[in-house]
Amino acid sequence: MEVKERRLKKPLRENPYLTFTQWQFPEDPEYRIIGKVVPPKDTDRITGKAPFSRDIKLPGMLYAKWLTSPYAHARVKKVDVSDVKSMPGVYDVLVCGDPDLQVEGSPEGLGVCEEYPWGQCNVKRPDIAFILPCEAVYEGQPVAVAVAAETPEKVDEALKMVKIEWEELPFVIDRDEALKPDAPIAQLFRGQDVNVVDPVAADLHSYVPWVAPGSDKCERGDVGKGLKEADRVIEFEIKVGTNCWGGGGVEPYASVAWIHNSYLDIWFRVQVPWMVPESAAGAPRGITLPIAASLAGVPLDKIHVHIPYTGAGFGGMNWVGNGALPTLLAVVLSKRTGRPVMVLADWSSFSGITEEEEGHYKFKVGFKNDGTVTAVEIWSNASRGHAGLAIPGCEKLFGITTIKNCRCESTVPYINKAPAACYKHGTTETIVLNEVFSQVAAALGKDPMEVALKNDGYFGHPMHPDMDEVKTKQGFPLRDSLKEVIEAGKKAMDWDNKWHPPGAKKLPNGKYHGLGFAWADEWRAGPWLPFASDNPYHAVLYFLEDGTATIKGMRTLIGVHEKTTYCQIVAEEAGLRYEDVELDHEFNEARLMFPAASGGLTWNSVILKELGMKAKRKLLEVASVHFNKRPEELDIKDSIIFERENPENKVTVRDIVSRYKAKFAGGVWATGETVLKGTEMPPTPREVHHWGRQAAFVEVEVDPDTGKVDVKKFVIVNDVGRVINPGSVAGQQYGGVYMGLGRAHTEEIIYDPLTGVKLNDSLTWYHVPTITDIPRLDAIAVETGLGYSAYGNMGVGEDPNCVARAVLRSAVYNAIGKWIDEDPITPFRVLKALGKG
């Protein structure tokens, strides 16, 4: 079968750091608009016109900020705000313990939890954040006091006048140390006498069904037996994800709340703005609005949500309340002052209420001499930033390999760092997956791609013939995604000519040359199924008299061409011109599908396809009166309705809409309940199949004297099933790779070991790569049609970052012949591995 590949080929302009490229591929006769390069509809973000929450100005608006803890662990013994309250321009002062801050179930301070019923807090959940508590459990935590005043400057002045008596408490920031018997208790409010997170309370089973209820491990087969079957067994340890910032974008949080006339208006930076009621399908939960309604004392449907542009969209913004906390504080202060209040999360030069997932991992791997892995055992103490990835290895090692015998176990401590959350899902899972196969390939002296292909599978089943049978039954093409992405990437990297044994190639410039390969699956958005009959998602299409149409449905614009891609799909299906369709993303009465980020277009292409199809049906039904024909005898193309048998008998959509205005009142509604091809459940533990693969290839030069790793070339290959918009795919490939590379080898929060205080929480010393630090990227999209959504498409947003993190490890090993047992792979660690640090 010919591999159909879409890739970036033709540079639009040369730049030493970036290649801006245009997609070149043959016209697809099946679609007019989908998969095509079209003028983007969301240019406001790059022209600077896009408003963000921080840009909102309302009459009489107050500004508010909070104090942050100077200590890694401390309690507030006494607060004196008498000088603050009398300051001119100060309108309100909130102190921890105030009844207005209490949410049912939270021990103290304003907490936001995902548990039901709304607002109740399960304090045993390690990813729960609180603001304004009396016990600070990490340095920089919003704590003790918040002030509202007429200007940001007055707020800062007022906060300086707060007098606090602290009781410093023992702290622990190292995950291994926290698990030792004599470790200090890191978070007293949890009410435990050890630091270990209770797996029953964490309730991992509800996120990963193959984890037994109340358990902190997942098992398949018999690991002991698998190790005995192995020709060789290796053991190794790594620490990954250590100390990466989890801010999720450089836009500092700002939220505005205004309670007026029994309504609550909110402007905020958030990824999932709306509340979704609990459903049989275990629908995802937007956490902010129900608690906001409760705090404001207004019914949920009297909240007006405004979601200006956001700097980025990451899951971590939702479930630990990262986006919610400033908003809820704004609600409390608006209620108390009667004014609109903007809360500015300005506790640092970048917002850091959460951190990236991190952990210490111990591996035991058995394998045959041909590269077949027979058993894997992993223990880790990784943070549970996202409960779905609570036990590293349970997701990808279980889900996308043929390995029959696996056991992944984790013991998670509470520590004195901000709660971890995911900011590109599956990063640590991808590292764990690749560490197994990279180390096996290295031990055998084999090409890592050979080992990957040998073990690629699906929940212990091989791709061939087991999954071929499923694909055939469900009408999918018999394509092999991993094989195809590897072929495309190898060719682009010129792998066969560049590959060499570890540590074997020193360049004339004195540096070591290295090549790396990593792979993973396409990460589908959550274990929940949004196609259930009781799902709460809607989209509406309103036709205007000028013949244009507006899609209405709420979702956050996080910068992945939402307006463009949504309009492409609806225009395609409805027969409209692309330029005649717009998106109104702030429509409170309809909520587009969750999530906004991971697989956002994948899921939403289902509801948008349905919307386009229904809109076309509606137009044809109305037009049938005009033509005096049955709807089936008519068609629409480029916003012109015509008779199929006699295309010259035609009328514009504008004429039909303006003439029969009443027929279009109320719009056309789609509910997302249409089950389309590819959404049937396969016979696996997952709700949708998982056949898409991705691969990353990197070429590096490592300076043995300075330890610096220069990334010279990067090839990213993603099987996206089908490209809806080439620019959106490429943008996410570029963004993900660059984010991953930064976290792989330049970015690291430095903690003072004696106080637990962050030393570099600013962009001066926290090294996010600049445009001069990133390599040229060859971004390739493969279209196998194996995706589970409406067009055989699947997501790309999460994946490039995950493999970029993983791939650098094997490339540096290939360069210097030594594994670096901890990332980020900064010069400090490279030189340490070489005995120079």
Partner 1 sequence: MRTIRKFEFLNARTIDEAVNTLAAYKGKAWPFAGGTDILRMMRFQPLPENLYPEVLINLKTISPSLEYIKEEDGILSIGALTKLVDIANNALVGERYSALANAANKVASPQIRNMATISGNICQLTHCLYFSKPDNRFHCLRKGGSECPAQLGDNRYCSIFGDVNGCVAVNTSDIAPALIALNARIKTNKRMVNAGEFWDVRVPGSTILDEDEIVVEIQVPRPPPDAKSVFMKFSIRSSIDFPIVNGAALIGDGVARIALNAVAPKPYRATKAEEVLKGKTIDETAAEEAAIAAVSEASPLSFNKWKISVAKAIVKRMVLNTKSR
163 near partner 1 (CB under 8 A): no
Cβ distance 813 to 503 under 8 Å?
no
C-alpha atoms less than 13 angstroms from C-alpha of 3 in its C-beta half-sphere: 18
Residue among 199, 248, 252, 313 that touches partner 1 (CB under 8 A): 252
191 near partner 1 (CB under 8 A): no
CB of 828 to partner 1, least distance (A): 5
Q: Which is nearer to partner 1, 64 or 452 (CB)?
A: 64
Which amino acid type is present at position 449?
Answer: M
Q: Which is nearer to partner 1, 472 or 762 (CB)?
A: 762
CB of 108 to partner 1, least distance (A): 24
DSSP codes joined into one string, 373-421: EEEEEEEE----SSGGGSSTTTTHHHHSB--S-EEEEE--B--SSPPEE
82 near partner 1 (CB under 8 A): no
Spatial strand order in the sheet of 373-380? 217-220, 406-410, 373-380, 359-367, 232-240
750 near partner 1 (CB under 8 A): yes
DSSP code at position 363: E
Cβ distance 551 to 562 under 8 Å?
no
Segment near partner 1 (CB under 8 A); pick from 148-156, 559-567, 662-670, 676-684: 148-156
Q: Which is nearer to partner 1, 63 or 379 (CB)?
A: 63
15 near partner 1 (CB under 8 A): no
836 near partner 1 (CB under 8 A): yes
751 near partner 1 (CB under 8 A): yes
Q: What is the C-alpha separation between 501 and 499, in angstroms, rounded?
A: 7
Q: Which is nearer to partner 1, 152 or 527 (CB)?
A: 152
CB of 46 to partner 1, least distance (A): 19
Q: What is the C-alpha separation between 364 and 763, in angstroms, rounded?
A: 38
826 near partner 1 (CB under 8 A): yes
CB of 770 to partner 1, least distance (A): 5
CB of 831 to partner 1, least distance (A): 4
Q: Pattern 262-281, binding to partner 1, x per CB under 8 A? A: --------------------
Q: What is the C-alpha separation between 23 and 727, in angstroms, rounded?
A: 8
772 near partner 1 (CB under 8 A): yes
Q: What is the C-alpha separation between 171 and 413, in angstroms, rounded?
A: 13
Residue among 22, 82, 349, 652 that touches partner 1 (CB under 8 A): 349
What CA–CA distances, in Å, run from 468 to 313, 399, 523, 573?
36, 16, 20, 30
Segment near partner 1 (CB under 8 A); pick from 126-134, 421-429, 519-527, 753-761: 753-761
CB of 190 to partner 1, least distance (A): 26
Number of residues this chain uses to bind partner 1 (CB under 8 A): 38
Q: Which is nearer to partner 1, 226 or 252 (CB)?
A: 252
Q: What is the C-alpha separation between 593 and 610, in angstroms, rounded?
A: 13
* CA 407-411-413 angle, 5° bins: 160
153 near partner 1 (CB under 8 A): yes
CB of 162 to partner 1, least distance (A): 12
837 near partner 1 (CB under 8 A): yes
754 near partner 1 (CB under 8 A): yes
- The 3-state secondary structure of 747-778, one letter per residue: CCCCECCCCCCECCCCCCCCCCCCHHHCCEEE
To 10 degrees, what angle do helices 799-816 and 427-444 make? 30
Token match 């027969």: residue?
575
Q: Which is nearer to partner 1, 63 or 414 (CB)?
A: 63
Q: Pattern 541-560, binding to partner 1, x per CB under 8 A? A: --------------------
773 near partner 1 (CB under 8 A): yes
86 near partner 1 (CB under 8 A): no
827 near partner 1 (CB under 8 A): yes
Burial 108-117 (b: 16+ CB within 10 A, else e): bbbbbbbbee
Q: Which is nearer to partner 1, 399 or 827 (CB)?
A: 827
* CA 412-413-417 angle, 5° bins: 120
List the helix and strand counts (H, then E) for the chain: 21, 34
* Nearest residue to 825 via CA among 710, 736, 742, 744: 744
Segment near partner 1 (CB under 8 A); pick from 23-31, 521-529, 719-727, 749-757: 749-757
Q: Which is nearer to partner 1, 346 or 643 (CB)?
A: 346
Give the distance from CA 742 to its chain's centroid. 16
Q: Which is nearer to partner 1, 180 or 836 (CB)?
A: 836
In this structure, are strands 163-168 and 90-95 parallel, antiparallel, or unpaired?
A: unpaired
Cβ distance 797 to 789 under 8 Å?
no
Cβ distance 437 to 378 under 8 Å?
no
Give the distance from CA 508 to its chain's centroid. 41
Instruction: Give the chain's radius of gyration (CA, Å).
Output: 27
Segment near partner 1 (CB under 8 A); pick from 89-97, 331-339, 556-564, 766-774: 766-774
Residue among 707, 736, 775, 797 that touches partner 1 (CB under 8 A): 707
Q: Which is nearer to partner 1, 299 or 837 (CB)?
A: 837
Give the distance from CA 458 to its chain's centroid. 23
Segment near partner 1 (CB under 8 A); pick from 333-341, 385-393, 769-777, 780-788: 769-777
Q: Pattern 23-62, binding to partner 1, x per CB under 8 A? A: ----------------------------------------
Q: Which is nearer to partner 1, 80 or 752 (CB)?
A: 752
CB of 834 to partner 1, least distance (A): 8
Cβ distance 712 to 17 under 8 Å?
no
- Residues in contact with partner 1 by CB under 8 A are 70, 152-153, 156, 252, 346, 349, 703, 705-708, 746, 750-755, 757, 759-760, 762, 764-765, 767, 769-773, 826-828, 831-832, 836-837
